[in-house]
A = this chain, B = another copy of it.
Amino acid sequence: MNAVGVIGLGLIGGSMAKAVKSNTDCIIYGMDADENVLAAAVSEGVITAGLEEHFDEIDMLLVALYPTDVVDIILGIAPRLKKGCIVIDCTGVKKIICTGLSEQLADMGLFFIGGHPMAGKEVSGYTNADADLYRGASMILCTDEHTDEQALKLADDFFKKLGFGRVVHTTYEEHDSVIAYTSQLAHIVSSSYIKSPTLEKRYGFSAGSFKDMTRVAKLNENMWADLFLANEDAIVSEIDSLINHLMEYENAIEGHNREKLVALLRDGRIRKEEDEEKEAGMGGQK
């Protein structure tokens, strides 16, 4: 890997560029809709220059754009990339991306892999980008029958070098189904939780659990709306599952059924403890 391009220098792409800069000797070319961001990245030495004049030089292209922009922008650029360039996006849903790019780029002699770095912050933009954002995190790579095995191996090594704790290979179906639970549902719950009318009385009455529950309510609503809409079946299924479980607790409380309530809470505790044990046994896989 000699030269890497990064399109979209916000929190995710900017952190990628900074991680590449910190952990490799690659030349980095960048592109961003905001000229000031691009200028800042150049002046800080995070990137060498703008990508516009260098599409045919890069060995890998990382794309961190809004979900609805990714496919069109990559298809527009693809003819200018050199054969064998590895193209990896960073979008939080993968079906719409992989079905729009995998076969298409393979036909053009490019190696596409659907990517999703499992890290983020409640703040966005280049100014919050951080070379260590991905340290220890999981990098998900979605493969299919068009995936080039050698490109995948290069990608694995590359992301480990950037500081990711592990690289996971999966399909876009599996990715979208699991991510609906581990990430998307958390954002819906957090955004719902903050809406109780009791919120305004909470000062002096809250501690860690309230803070944890509401942390990710601070989100980018346009991006998340598109992520949810692109994963409708899975997220709706997870919301339904959560509501059904909440109603079990509610019914036990309303029915003054202490035995049932204790059993529900005990089951939750045991699941959490087993989950933590399993994570620890897998070397701390998040």
Chain A interface (Cβ within 8 Å of chain B)? Answer: 118-120, 137-138, 140, 166, 168, 170, 174-175, 177-183, 185-199, 201-219, 221-222, 224-226, 228-229, 232, 235-236, 238-243, 245-250, 253-254, 256, 258, 261-262, 264-269, 271-273, 275-276, 278-279, 282, 285-286
Among A224, A261, A272, max chain B CB count under 10 A is at: A272
Taking the closest CB of chain B, its distance from the CB of A123, in whole angstroms, is 11
Q: Name the residue on B nearest A276 (C-beta).
A: B218
Q: Which chain B positions have C-beta within 8 A of A211?
A: 286
Q: Which chain B positions have C-beta within 8 A of A218?
A: 269, 272-273, 276
Taking the closest CB of chain B, its distance from the CB of A16, in whole angstroms, is 16
Taking the closest CB of chain B, its distance from the CB of A51, in whole angstroms, is 28
Q: Please, could you name 15 A-B residue pairs with CB atoms under 8 Å apart, sorted by A?
A: A140-B205, A185-B196, A189-B242, A192-B245, A195-B268, A195-B271, A196-B242, A210-B286, A212-B215, A212-B216, A214-B275, A217-B268, A226-B258, A228-B253, A228-B261
Q: Are B138 and A264 in contact (CB under 8 A)?
A: no
Q: Which of B196, B258, B279 contacts A181 (CB 8 A)?
A: B196
Q: Are B238 and A118 in contact (CB under 8 A)?
A: no
CA distance A100 to B176 in the complex (A): 52
CA distance A196 to B184 in the complex (A): 13
CA distance A183 to B269 in the complex (A): 16
Q: Which chain B positions have C-beta within 8 A of A268?
A: 190-192, 194-195, 217, 219
Q: Which chain B positions have C-beta within 8 A of A246?
A: 188-189, 192, 239, 242-243
Q: Which chain B positions have C-beta within 8 A of A285?
A: 203-204
Q: Which of B178, B213, B253, B279 contacts A213 (CB 8 A)?
A: B213
Q: Which chain B positions have C-beta within 8 A of A191?
A: 249, 264-265, 268-269
Taking the closest CB of chain B, its distance from the CB of A41, in whole angstroms, is 25
